[in-house]
A and B are shown apart, each in its own frame.
Chain A
Amino acid sequence: MEYTIEGKASQTTSELLAAAGAEAAGLRAVWLGLPAARLVLSDDFDKAAGADVSSIRTFGATDCMADGLLKIVDELRLANECTCTFGHEGAYQIHVILSDICSKKGKPGDLALLRDIAPVMVKQSNCSEGRAIGQAVIDVLDHFSDEVEAHITKKTCTAGSCVAYMTYHVLVSKCTGCTKCLKACDDKAIMGKAKFVHVIDQRKCSGCDRCRSICPTHAIVRAGAKKPKCPPRPIPVKRK
């Protein structure tokens, strides 16, 4: 979640959260926006911000760090009118790389590229936005590189918030076995027949979302970290 605030340097992260009306419990980290521009881990919530803060972005257990970082980068990038190569082009590359990572298109060398460019942006950007973007990347990679890397190496978003990594499931309680989803699936990833609860084969599903939007009983859901329990094979629909 993101909040716009007028935070003072003397305020602690906890105080900033309270001022914003945000729940501190369960947060993993908080990004303090410009001019402070740094990531604060939950252990340090009681320390002073050290610089004024114009906005905060909270990271709970289900907020993906890669996706959150992308949002921080994009917000700074779109506010930035500086065209210095490190700030402008560096931010652009980070934007594209993080977008790729969050949409299952990340490449093995991407983290190294991020680690290469980010410190240069901090030291050499002419603009505060460029420096902040570099700092955000460094902070996230310093503490959450495993989570970011899992997108590439394990093809999972552990926080479960990156849509591209979500899986589709048919809820036994709602499915009427109407076969509409089955016919709509181009991947032929849905198993079943009339009056049988349909089951999605995760190996074949490409996540196009067509089945979910077509289902008349809203029996198909998208799941991140927590997956609903589903039968491995189609079973007859329970009569009501």
Chain B
Amino acid sequence: MLLTIDGREVEAEAGSSILDAALAAGIFIPHLCTHPDLEPIGGCGLCMVKVEGTDEPVRACMTEVQEGMAISTTDTEADRLRRLAMELILATHPADCTGCPKYGVCELQSMYQYMGVSPQRWRCKGRTVPTDDSNPLITHMFTRCIRCGRCVRACESLRGVGAIGFVRADDGSMRVAIKGKTLQEAGCRFCGACAEVCPTGSIVDTLGLFQDDRSREDNIVPCRSGCPAHIDIPRYLRYIKEGEYEKATAVVREKVPFPESLGNICTHNCQGECKRNHLQEPLSICRLKRAAAVRDTGEWKGRVRHEPLTGKSVAIVGAGPAGLTAALYLAEKGHKVHVFEADEKVGGQMRYGIPAYRLPDEIVDGEVATILEVTQKDDAEPRIEISCGERVMDVKALKNDYDAVLITSGTFRGNVLPMKGHDLENVYVNTEFLKAARKGCPQTVEGGKVVVFGGGNVAYDCARTAVRLGAASVDVCCLEAESAMTSTPEEREEAAEEGIVLHDAYSFTSINDNGEGKVGSVTIHKIERFYFDENHRAVTELVEGGELTLDADYVIFGVGQKPEDTEGYGLELTHGPYIVADANHATSEDGIFSAGDVVTGTKSVIAAIQGGREAASAIDRFLGGDGDISEVLVDVEPKNPELGKADADFYTAAVQPEMAPGEVRAHNFDHYECPFTEDEAKREASRCLQCDLRLMISRPRLWNEY
């Protein structure tokens, strides 16, 4: 229907309010208590307008448009009332804007600056309410509350929670308060909707929670942004909660081709970012991924991208997570892919670095088979050819037979520290030790005392493998104090259950000869701290009298690993053997790309997968494609924003899966952790705060955006 606002003809939908009609037409009318996603209440009185033919100004938010309506936003009386309303609001609001975390983005501040109003003629006195920062994630500074009620309406009507409401303060005025001593007592879901809709600095995300160098979206959904591959975690956790495991797996599959492998061994940076770290424990996102993947039926396979063959071909050196991921997406884009693998089987670190008790061969084999299956689809010929046992030394020569080359050869050369005794017999190195065990011809440790140097997950993989190979004792020594170790706390806890002893904060003095040219003992020294000086040299401060000698028959170096063979590639390298690749994964040689650990240094399977994705996209563009490897493997369904009041179960710690006890699992390489049962998975997934629902809430535009 047609109406005029300030003489301008405006088209508006029947049933809409004058305010919505004006804002949609780009005509700004001040407003505060109105929010695009909430029922209007006509509380603040800032949106007063005059409708021609009526006596008194009306609230634009509460007045429906009528055909032919003539509206004035500049009417003298309407303007007077608007200013009066703003004066009254400001009279009890703290005057010091600069000390407020919302300074510069505050809707009230923006609005009064627009209106140019001062409350000075009224009795001006703030309503003092102490700041409440006792709750996790959300801080209440109700002294800044302007009683617009947006938070209360959002909590009640958007979320169905009702954890906050109006109460009468000591001075007789109404203000918002938690309906209980704490948010938890009030059944809060910690979804953040209240903070999202608060126009002032009254309800805010606890200071320090959001990081300045991240986008708003990344701050609001930190698990998703924390994942190197940006898997849509809240989305698949919702499916798991509903028991829809195929859909959950499809969501994971949209970003990574190894859901089950990752569900076992991912370094789960997402969990470190999870907002529930501030509220009991983070979600067991990694385990939930596994719970979904083991129940996957492969429904998503029919929706995989399968573009016509381009006639182009790509050679990939190294069949680890980066190489296989790139192979998948390149094949989906229509390119023929030939993967060369130096080892006898594919998988890279997933097979030869990670022990079988964490990731059995069958899982890797199954997921690689799926890659081959979905990329071939109905084609007569497979799009991906894999040649195992072929070590490529001359990568440039591959350019003769292929249109592009991708090097994803990883880091398979273990570091040996140049300390005294490093060249004795029975000194092993992580990569070889783990690979030999995985190949079924392990390096001997049986019956012997083993000392592992290093504090990362790989060091622990070596230690726990040694336990399983029948070592009499296993001691782990590392430079870092336990709190600074890079291995996960669970890893250390489980290792301790298997009888592994940790010596943290020790420097490695020497490996001592037993008199026969073999390892006899190791000497280590307790340190106060260590740091790197201005020349990047490690400096250790020894504790006086802190020397310790451990009997040892075998020593395993678990102190990092680096690329093999790269020196002979003829490509620009950095920090020794690492390949230099730019943001598009291009190396110094045109047509040769590189990704994964060989570029970044030893990172994680998930980081390698993301590297493989990016490289595939870049290579597709290089070959003339559009580089679009995105997939929708399950329709995006509307999210249910209604959470309901939380019950006591919501505030529990993470669900723990069944696991073989330490004394049992220490004697074999069996996969010792069971996937979550359906019930466990549902309970754990139900703990998700669903932070992403907050992104559905509209952001009101400020006047300067009109």
Contact = CB atoms under 8 A, between A and B. Distances in A.
Interface of A: 74, 77-78, 81-86, 88-90, 92-93, 95-97, 100, 109, 113, 116-117, 120, 123-124, 126
A101 to B, nearest CB: 12
Given A78-B172, A88-B173, 8 more contacts: A74-B172, A84-B41, A86-B84, A86-B88, A92-B92, A100-B123, A124-B57, A126-B43
B88 A123 contact: no
A113 B122 contact: yes
A238 to B, nearest CB: 51
B263 interface: no
B92 A89 contact: yes
B45 interface: yes
7 contacts: A85-B44, A85-B45, A85-B46, A88-B147, A92-B172, A120-B84, A123-B56
Contact of B166 (A81, A84, A124): A81
B121 interface: yes
Contacts of B88: 85-86, 89-90, 93, 117
A120 B56 CA distance: 10
Q: Which of B42, B45, B172 counts the most chain A CB atoms within 10 A?
A: B45
Nearest to B43: A84
B122 A86 contact: no
A116 B83 CA distance: 12
Contacts of B350: none
Question: 3 shortest A-B CB distances, which residue pairs?
Answer: A89-B88, A83-B147, A96-B123
B291 to A, nearest CB: 46
A100 to B, nearest CB: 8
A93 B85 contact: no
A113 B91 CA distance: 13
A113 B43 contact: no
B168 interface: yes
Q: Which of B92, B123, B147 counts the most chain A CB atoms within 10 A?
A: B123
Nearest to A74: B172
B455 interface: no
B682 to A, nearest CB: 40
Interface of B: 41-46, 56-57, 81, 84-85, 88-89, 91-92, 121-123, 125, 147, 149, 166, 168, 172-174
Given A89-B92, A123-B56, A83 B121 contact: no
A90 B147 CA distance: 13
Contacts of B92: 89, 92
A83 B168 contact: no
Contacts of B56: 123-124
Contacts of A95: 172
A84 B174 contact: no
Q: Which of A74, A81, A92 counts the most chain B CB atoms within 10 A?
A: A92
A55 B168 CA distance: 23
A123 B77 CA distance: 12
B115 to A, nearest CB: 13
Contacts of A90: 88
A86 B173 contact: no
Contacts of A100: 123
A100 B166 CA distance: 27
Contacts of B91: 89, 93
B177 to A, nearest CB: 13
B189 to A, nearest CB: 24
A96 B83 CA distance: 20
B121 A113 contact: yes
Contacts of B149: 83
A116 B121 CA distance: 11
Given A86-B85, A89-B92, A120-B84, A97 B173 contact: no
Contacts of B174: 81-83, 88
A85 B85 contact: yes
Contacts of B57: 124
Contacts of A81: 166, 168, 174
Nearest to B145: A83
Contacts of B173: 88, 92
Contacts of B43: 83-85, 126
Nearest to A126: B42
Contacts of B121: 109, 113
A117 B84 contact: yes
Contact of A124 (B45, B123, B168, B172): B45
